[in-house]
Amino acid sequence: VSPASLSPLIDVRSMTHLHAGLSSETTEKARLELNENPDTLHQDIQQVRDMIVTRPDIGFLRTDDDFILRFLRARKFDQTETFRLLAQYFQFRQQNLDMFQSFKVDDPGIKRALMDGFPGVLETPDQHGRKILILFASNWDQSRNSFTDILRAILLSLEVLIENPELQINGFILIIDWSNFSFKQASKLTPNILKLAIEGLQDSFPARFGGIHFVNQPWYIHAMYTIIKPFLKDKTRKRIFLHGNNLNSLHQLIQPECLPSEFGGTLPPYDMGIWARTLLGPDYNDETEYTLTYDALHIKFVILCEKSHKFMKKKTGILKLKS
């Protein structure tokens, strides 16, 4: 059996693996909304991978099919935009090494932020299958949590969640409740800090955010929004909704059946520790990729590549013998 005759078999198996766990509805949604075509999936992934040589200044520490696919989905299979996002993902980590040196759930700063509900993650998705993240801004105790640790906890949570291919396609909703968020707390949200958050979430992460909802925001949060507006893409600006005290306008976009009682929903009050317990529970394995530091991820990925290469050589040899 020649390598050429084996490639369709390998492609079909890989393609099945890439779509494993997806419902038929989500597969169709990916086709209609994201331009995802199972017949050209590997070609799309490889074309993005081929662009890596154009950026020798960036260490692309992970380039496997599963990883690149989430970036394609985040940019609706526009390969140029996909590669730009992939490059920005690793560039952001290289430029902010201190944020990712201990990027794992048991890092003291990340652990404190998670235990304080940064972020909260609802078990029930919205009516479009989007995962709902919530932040109660007034819970930010600046003597306990730095803003950087909160951002790290949010990014780590997204790394865990984005492993789910359904969420790569359906995306996320973010609700920020500004109730009792003081002017003193707001004064700590400097332009540099806010710019860092925008770079980390909007420009450098492969997640589809279907909406960012502000509720109960005071006037000084409106002022803050005015400051950050120039850093936001048009698409992001169109997805930010300032509801104030009007929960009816929130319910027009997210059904009450998907929301806890704090947001006028029919679900019980949100348990602030539920997501932290999910990550810190007895079944949590801190050896998975998203818990590793930048350097450790590189080492682990090199080992995985070597193992994968040996496995494929062995597998190909078996197939040749059988033929």
pLDDT in tens, 85-124: 999 999 999 999 999 999 999 899 999 999 899 999 999 9
State residue 214 phi and psi, 5-degree precision: -95, 130
Q: Are residues 248 and 217 in the same domain?
A: yes
Question: What's the average model confidence in pLDDT over 242-247?
Answer: 94
Q: Are residues 127 and 207 in the same domain?
A: yes
Neighbouring C-beta atoms of residue 212, cutoff 10 Å: 20
Q: Are residues 36 and 110 in the same domain?
A: no
In a domain, 138, yes or no: yes
In a domain, 141, yes or no: yes
- DSSP collapsed to 3 states, the chain: CCHHHHHHHHHHHHHHHHCCCCCHHHHHHHHHHHCCCHHHHHHHHHHHHHHHHHCCCCCCCCCCHHHHHHHHHHCCCCHHHHHHHHHHHHHHHHHCHHHHCCCCCCCHHHHHHHHCCCCEECCCCCCCCCEEEEEEHHHCCCCCCCHHHHHHHHHHHHHHHCCCHHHHHHCEEEEEECCCCCHHHHHCCCHHHHHHHHHHHHHCCCCCEEEEEEECCCHHHHHHHHHHHHHCCHHHHHCEEEEECCHHHHHCCCCHHHCEHHHCCCECCCCCCHHHHHHHCCCCCCCCHHHCCHHHHHHHHHHHHHHHHHHHHHHHHHHHHHC
- Burial of residue 49 (CB within 10 Å: 0-12, 13-18, 19+) is middle
- Show the tokens assigned to 8: 């369709």
Q: Are residues 232 and 215 in the same domain?
A: yes
In a domain, 264, yes or no: yes
In a domain, 45, yes or no: yes
In a domain, 209, yes or no: yes
Which 8-state DSSP code applies to residue 200?
A: I
Q: Are residues 153 and 268 in the same domain?
A: yes
User: Could you give the 3-state DSSP secondary structure of residue 215?
Assistant: strand
Q: Are residues 276 and 140 in the same domain?
A: yes
In a domain, 286, yes or no: no
* pLDDT > 90? residue 254: yes
Q: Are residues 129 and 271 in the same domain?
A: yes
Task: Give one DSSP letter per residue of 58-92, joined into a string.
Answer: S------HHHHHHHHHHTTT-HHHHHHHHHHHHHH
In a domain, 117, yes or no: yes
pTM: 0.82
Domain that holds residue 212: 103-280
Q: Are residues 125 and 159 in the same domain?
A: yes
Q: Are residues 86 and 119 in the same domain?
A: no
Q: How many domains does the chain have?
A: 2
CATH number at residue 224: 3.40.525.10
In a domain, 287, yes or no: no
pLDDT in tens, 281-316: 754 444 443 343 334 344 344 334 444 444 434 444
Q: Are residues 55 and 152 in the same domain?
A: no
Q: Are residues 133 and 162 in the same domain?
A: yes
Q: Are residues 274 and 307 in the same domain?
A: no
pLDDT in tens, 125-183: 999 999 999 999 999 988 888 999 999 999 999 999 999 999 999 999 999 999 999 99
